[in-house]
Amino acid sequence: MTATWTVVLIVGVITIAIKALGPMLLGGGPLPPSATVVIVLLAPALLAALVAVNTLGGDRELEIDARLPGVLAAAVAIKLRAPVLIVVIVAAIVTAGVRAFTG
């Protein structure tokens, strides 16, 4: 089995299980508060890491290229409360434009 199919099948099965767990097993009963406060912070921590790595990450190095102005433009669009679709389009257009002009 290829690496791609391994990832697709395992991630699919685990995600289906995670989504099903609460509704299938629970008759109520909240998580312990200590577990909740940790899990709630997973999303911001991971999303911030994804922003950083996808903006500045290279092949085992940090690099500043046309992605950075695109993401900065996206940040301005987010600040202006633009819809997510517009935010992504702004980032793509700015990055594509900077690439076109800088080769």
**Nearest distance from C-beta of residue 72 to another protein, angstroms:** 10
Q: Is 64 in the site for another protein (CB under 8 A)?
A: no
Q: Is 32 in the site for another protein (CB under 8 A)?
A: no
Q: Is 80 in the site for another protein (CB under 8 A)?
A: no
DSSP structure string for 21-84 = HHHHH-SS-PPPHHHHHHHHHHHHHHHHHHHHHHHHB-SSSB---THHHHHHHHHHHHHTT--H
Task: Name beta bridge partners: 64.
Answer: none
Q: Is 33 in the site for another protein (CB under 8 A)?
A: yes
Q: Which of 64, 80, 95, 102 binds another protein (CB under 8 A)?
A: 95
